[in-house]
Amino acid sequence: MPLRKMTHGSSCLQNRSNCSQIRYPINRLIIEEGIRNDPVVIKILKALPGLSPEYIKNEEIDFSCLNHDTLALCRNKGRFLKPCPGTKEYLCCLYQFLNIGLNCPIDCTYCILQVYLNTNALVVYVNYDDLLSELGSEIMKNPSIIRIGTGELTDSLALDPLTGISLVLIDFFSRQRQAYLELKTKSDHIGDIIDLDHQGQTIMSWSLNPQNVICNEEGLAASLNDRIKAARRCQERGYKTGFHFDPILLYKEWEADYESVIETLFRNVDFRFITWISMGCFRFIPELKPVIQKRFPKSLIVYEEFIPGLDKKMRYPQPVRINIYSKMALWIRKRWPDAFIYLCMESPEVWKASIGYAPDDNLTLKSWLDERCRIR
Amino acid sequence: MLHFEDISAIECMNLSEIDLSDRCFCFRFFSEPPHIFIDSVKRFGILYPPVVRAKGDSYQIVDGFRRIEAANVCGIDTIHCRRCKGSLTDADLFFPALSIFLSSGQPHIADQAAILYRASKLLANDIIIDVILPILGYPSSPKVLARLLPLAEMDKELGSALIGEKINHDMALSLMELDPQERKQLVSLFLYYNYSQSKQREIFEHLKDICKKENRSLKDVLPELGWEGDMEDISSYETPLNLRLKKENENRLFRHSGEGWNPGFSNETPMNLRFTKGDENAQKGFSGENKVASGEAFRQRLKERRFPTLTGLENEWKKRIKSLRLPPSISLKPPPYFEGGKYRLSLSFKDIKGFREEMAKLDALEKDDAWIKLFTK
Ligand code: SF4
């Protein structure tokens, strides 16, 4: 299936680096009245010369009416940092999310954001000063290691060539000792950050899937090769790297395809600089199914066998998940015998049955991951 | 606007002068007169005069399609009608015609769809949304119109099932997404096993998912699950539904002495129902021996196809429980969907003595290898 094409006549967020030419369609630009002169806004406006911005008072912006091709620049009046919602039924690594914006231009078929947010627009929060001050005070309050990621409500790097937020964050974290930043992405937008002095406080992570899954399900994401190339470049510049096989999708040829992804990964990156590898099978809240069926009628991912999990999300049945994780772990360990693998939102039972060990509780899992961050 | 004085007194007209093909104001989903209605016209004539109006060289029917058609079938040459005077356009006459039709009672949802369909041929969309939908008791909303209108395209089987309340509106709309042959097959399956509406939805969703996943058509999948039935006319079933509809039809006919309500049954075409060779349960069901069990067996086969892992786990569990030979007073349920939740044990007893006895049985079970094995994967 070919990649979805950009709409004609739209302005493009074009990569300024030499990475792949990923283009996201943006046809409308809304800017909150009162931030016209914000330096971030001015920078973004310069990068989108073809668009005439509409300035609207914050309270008058009806986010629920905005479309996927709208970029809205505004201030976040709420909190930026919040703990991963997790669930009490499955093990969670007690991660913290930093919300830099809402929605993602990559538009994966399986993306939870389609039903999770009350807007379809790409929202970018431009009040970086507020963000950094909240971050600083939260880190100060926290006595232990804190792992923070920006990839919950958007892709960490997808809009980076435009917003430059990762630049600001990597610089901020480089001055921390207890706090680590994880930038999780399906893009290869590393041009602006590759040469930064990160001080080992940032982990560059990629979500990986076989190329045919990328073509069919991951919208405007970078190809597998481009992601792996970007990861290698980051490793060469001393960045720690992480890889997330999440969501793992089940289909007829999944075994051959996923093993080949693992093969390609280890052929191209140095496992000594991999901080972690995580795995999580595709899961979704029931409300997502009709949305996928409507928006992506060619996608077949929701037609596999699913059962409601303890958290009410639809999941592959437990024996299926165990089989997937065991095989994936085997393929990884063949290439990296001491691989540090963890599972995302799974029960200790599934951990033990598939990768042979399980943390006792969330805090233990957190300590394992914290420890991995420390390794230089 | 049409006023009472614009309608003539009863006049005698030649049936040949009436244009039976002009269906501008035909507001029923099933417009053909039912047999029982034709019988009545044959015996008593038309008791309630239809309304027509002059249009071109002939008369256009404004109200009373089925009465006039029944007269035609009975070979009657002349009938008594009322005639609209004046020269209104079809669009002008639409509302008076509709109000005459609605005076006989709230129309069924299928007839409402027919009304909207006729309206869509004559009136602008905003008039339909803002005026006709509220007349029919709906809010003025394009979404409501979009939901109702497709029902006007239903085939006879589906229309009958909807009118007979054997299939609900949502299911009827879902079935409209299928090709006509597949729709027929599924309607026949639902009616034959008399599945509840929630079971129909479950079956529909599972089948749709299987077809999508396997890239197959319903026509291929249904026989593999043991159902190859379709029917040319579902009315030939002596199901409780059909018997009730027949009765209601008769009651209406005699109550109003006018147009009866016609679910479109002819009772003449034989049901054409086939089962896949080797499907004994279905065949048993067909012979009426064990229809409920056979309907459940179909659902189980469907479930096994849609959820092979889950049904495998369930079957394995049943086997293990059976081999345990638990006393009838003790029952054990696995975690929901075998997803690592909790097992549920229940005991039944009458008094403290009974309770002690059950606890003793549990104590014994605890040492039983088969019991321990039950909890090991
Ligand atoms: S990259 Fe992540 S956030 Fe973006 S659309 Fe895909 S799943 Fe959603």
pLDDT digits (tens, 9 = 90+) for A13-37: 443 333 333 378 899 999 999 999 9
Please check whether residue A272 lies inside any domain of the structure.
Answer: yes
Nearest 5°: the CA angle A80, A117, A210 is 95
To test the pocket of ligand 1, the residue of A99, A100, A103, A113 to mutate (highest count of ligand atoms within 8 Å of its CB) is: A113
E strands present in chain B: 11-14, 18-19, 51-55, 58-63, 78-84, 330-333, 344-347
Q: How far apart are CA B206 and CA B228, in angstroms?
A: 17
Binding site membership of A103 for ligand 1 (Cβ less than 6 Å): no
Q: In what order do the strands lie in the sheet with A314-315?
A: A283-284, A314-315, A307-308
CA atoms within 13 A on the CB side of A279: 26
User: Of A76-90, A96-110, A130-144, which range is least confident?
Assistant: A76-90
A83 in contact with B at a CB cutoff of 8 Å? Answer: no
The answer, for A315 touching chain B at a CB cutoff of 8 Å, is yes
What pLDDT score does A84 carry? 85
Residue B7 confidence (pLDDT): 77
Segment A337-349 mean pLDDT: 94
Average pLDDT taken over every residue of chain A: 91
CB A68 less than 6 A from any atom of ligand 1:
no
Nearest CA to ligand 1 atom 6: A108
Min Cα separation A303/chain B (Å) = 5
pLDDT of residue B5: 65
Q: Is beta strand A202-207 parallel, antiparallel or unpaired with respect to A240-248?
A: parallel
Q: Is A304 on the interface with B (CB under 8 A)?
A: yes
- Kindly determine whether residue A353 and residue B341, on different chains, have CB atoms separated by under 8 Å: no
**CA-CA distance, B55 to B87, in Å (whole number)?**
9
Rounded to a whole number of angstroms, the distance from the CA of A137 to the nearest CA of chain B is 39
Kindly list the domain boundaries of chain B, sorted by start residue. Answer: 4-153, 155-306, 308-374
Rounded Cα gap, residues B126 and B57, in angstroms? 33
The separation between CA B229 and the C-alpha centre of its own chain, rounded to angstroms, equals 16
Distance set, CA A125 to CA A58, A120, A163, A169 (Å): 12, 15, 9, 14
| Inter-chain CB proximity B213 and A307 less than 8 Å | no
- Asked if the structure places residue A4 within a domain, the reply is no
Packing angle of the helix pair B180-192, B156-163 (nearest 10 deg): 40
Q: What pTM value is reported for the model?
A: 0.83
- Between strands B58-63 and B78-84, the pairing is unpaired
Domain count, chain A: 1
Tell me if A104 CB under 6 Å of ligand 1. Answer: yes
Cβ contact B339–A318 (<8 Å): yes
For residue B370, count other CB atoms closer than 10 A to its CB: 12
Q: Do A307 and B307 touch (CB under 8 A)?
A: yes
Nearest-CA residue for ligand 1 atom 7 is A111
For residue A221, give the ligand 1 atom closest to its CA.
1
In which band, very low, low, confident or very high, does the pLDDT at A250 lie, cut at 50, 70 and 90?
A: very high
Residue-wise pLDDT for B21-62, tens only, equals: 999 999 999 888 888 888 988 888 888 899 999 998 999 999
For the Cβ of A102 lying below 6 angstroms from any atom of ligand 1, the answer is: no
pLDDT at A18: 33
Is B205:B250 a contact under the CB 8 Å cutoff?
A: no
| A310–B339 CB contact, under 8 Å | yes
**Angle made by CA atoms B149, B155, B156, in degrees to the nearest 5:** 120
Q: Write out the DSSP string of A336-366.
A: -TT--EEESSB-HHHHHHHHS---SSHHHHH
- Cα-to-centroid distance, A111 and ligand 1 (Å): 5
pLDDT for residue A224 is more than 60: yes
Residues 113-172 of A with CB under 8 A from B: none
CB A255 within 8 A of CB A210: no
d(CA A228, CA A268): 7
DSSP bridge partners of B346: B331
Please give the distance, rounded to the nearest whole angstrom, from the Cα atom of residue A24 to the centre of ligand 1: 13
* Residues A51-78 pLDDT 10s: 899 999 988 889 999 999 999 999 999 9
Which of A115, A154, A245, A295 is the best mutation target for the ligand 1 pocket, counting ligand atoms within 8 Å of the beta carbon and taking the most?
A154
Write the ipTM. 0.87
Counting Cα atoms < 13 Å in the Cβ hemisphere of A30 gives 24
Rounded Cα distance, B96 and B53, in Å: 12
> What's residue B239's pLDDT?
46
pLDDT of residue B244: 46
Q: Average the pLDDT over A341-351 and give the result.
A: 94
Residue of A303, A310, A320 lying closest to B340 (CB–CB): A310
What separation in angstroms does the CA of A225 have from each of A216, A265, B317? 16, 9, 45
Residue A124: which domain range? 9-374
Query: In the numeric block, which tokens belong to residue A224?
Result: 């597998």
In a domain, A18, yes or no: yes
Type and span of the H or E element at B44: helix B35-44
Look at the domain B4-153 and name its fold.
3.90.1530
Point out the residues of chain B with pLDDT beneath 50.
232-245, 248-278, 281-285
Task: Look up residue A239 and give its two tokens.
Answer: 């960045």
pLDDT tens-place string over residues B286-309: 555 588 999 999 999 999 999 999
A126 inside domain: yes
Nearest to B169 by CA among B98, B101, B113, B232: B113
Non-local CB neighbours of B124 within 8 Å, separated by 6+ positions: none
CATH number at residue A350: 3.80.30.30
Q: Are A310 and A86 in contact (CB under 8 A)?
A: no
Inside any domain, residue A2: no
